[in-house]
Structure 1
């Protein structure tokens, strides 16, 4: 019996700026025009789909500007880089988080990338 090797999971580095914007750099050896990163709200049906665009050789980039509303809660990151691949959980890479960021990327117990949006707490802290 032969086994088909599984593709390595997609890995994303994430930068959170002080204004609440997020930048995701996904390592992907190949991609097509439909490549995207999806943030899915863990506690509800909401999701935000971000296009992944070439950034460097073997890297794709998605940006979530601070102007895009991301309700409070935990958001899990998924990505699809080819038309044949369904959205798959993204493994966490390096993270650069500004101390006052209202959207904080973090690593789950399973090693996946998630984001906590905590708009209310940041506003309370600023008051």
Structure 2
């Protein structure tokens, strides 16, 4: 990680953050005039470039959008995806059911028209 930090420092990166989920440890660096300086108080820090806020709890890191809404974590995104996929499947099944019912109704209407014609009644006439 040191090499990566030195690389970013050399090429003028404005900010650099390193999170270790196993240790629940967050470290950040912010560009001063010439080099990246370590951010002493990272908990609650707001990125000048991104506008996001870092909150390190006892369990995990939470990132907040500039409007103070938390970013959605992977598990929540996965759950939302599963719900959306389920809804799409249900909607597709309902659409297929409606198509089948429409086809049945059209076939029935055709049969009734045929029976009327066989009985000598023109189904197209109004009287």
Interval of TM-score (by shorter of Structure 1 and Structure 2): under 0.3
Q: Under a length normalisation based on structure 1, what TM-score does the superposition of the two structures give? A: 0.26
More helix by share: 2
Structure (1 or 2) with the larger CA radius of gyration: 2
More strand by share: 1
Larger relative contact order (Cα-Cα within 8 Å, sequence gap ≥ 6) = 1
